[in-house]
Amino acid sequence: MLIVIPAVLDADALHTCRAALHTADWTDGKATAGSQSASVKVNQQLPELSPVAQQLGNLILKKLGAHPLFLSAALPKSIYPPLFNRYRGGEHFGVHVDNAIRPITGTTQLIRTDLSATLFLMEPDSYEGGELVIESQFGSQEVKLNAGDMVLYSASSLHQVNAVTHGERLAAFFWLQSLIRDDGVRQLLFDLDQSIQQLTQEVGQQHPEVVRLTGVYHNLMRRYAEL
């Protein structure tokens, strides 16, 4: 699964994020890396429990909670509080895979990282490099989105961030545990939900085929969801 979620943040929210991040105190990004990824991670990051990170993270979570495409694609059960990183001056993150289980800092809660998300905060023409490169069964896919857009992809994927050779790349990133563990099943449910929404617009919510397919969707959720 690799899905672009457009317009998570509007212009006002982006301005708020950038203003806060440009005056924040940054630390070495290795702080949240696993043993393998720490050896290839060269970037900066906000401390997880810093007031700025928590304030902006709550802003992003509020926006995501009202974004229908995100909810349809992710079917989130638990979301790791968003983190924030910065790349500049040749900084990069080599090929790695995200940890399968992550403790949420400051709590006793663990989440299984089914999906990874990167929310771009700078316009793509304001910096050079910085592409998120995700390995999939179809080969490498480079992702560099407009500010405010987010990419959602399988956390089991090998991925990397190319070196930023000019300018500054700011992004939020996080992981989530989905109600649907299996990536293939989650993709099928997403496709079915999108088709139901399109059909609803064309023929109305009470059309017999819409009602029938909605029943199929919920019965599949009943079969596969993990609460």
Q: Where are the domains of the chain?
A: 2-178, 183-224
Domain formed by 183-224, architecture: Irregular (4.10)
Question: Distance (Å, rounded) from C-alpha 218 to C-alpha 34?
Answer: 37
Taking the complete model, does pTM exceed 0.75, yes or no?
yes
Specify whether the CB–CB gap between 190 and 72 falls below 8 A. yes
- Per CATH, the number for 2-178 is 2.60.120.620
Is 24:50 a contact under the CB 8 Å cutoff? yes
Residue type, 88: R
pLDDT band with cut points at 50, 70 and 90 for residue 220:
very high
Give the confidence band of 218 by pLDDT, cuts at 50, 70, 90.
very high
| 6-53 pLDDT, tens digit each | 999 999 999 999 999 999 999 998 877 666 777 899 999 999 999 999
119, 82 contact by CB (below 8 A)? yes
Helix (H, G, I), strand (E, B) or coil at 155: coil
In sequence order, the 6+-apart residues with CB closer than 8 A to the CB of 109 are: 78, 103
| Span between the terminal Cα atoms of the chain, in Å | 21
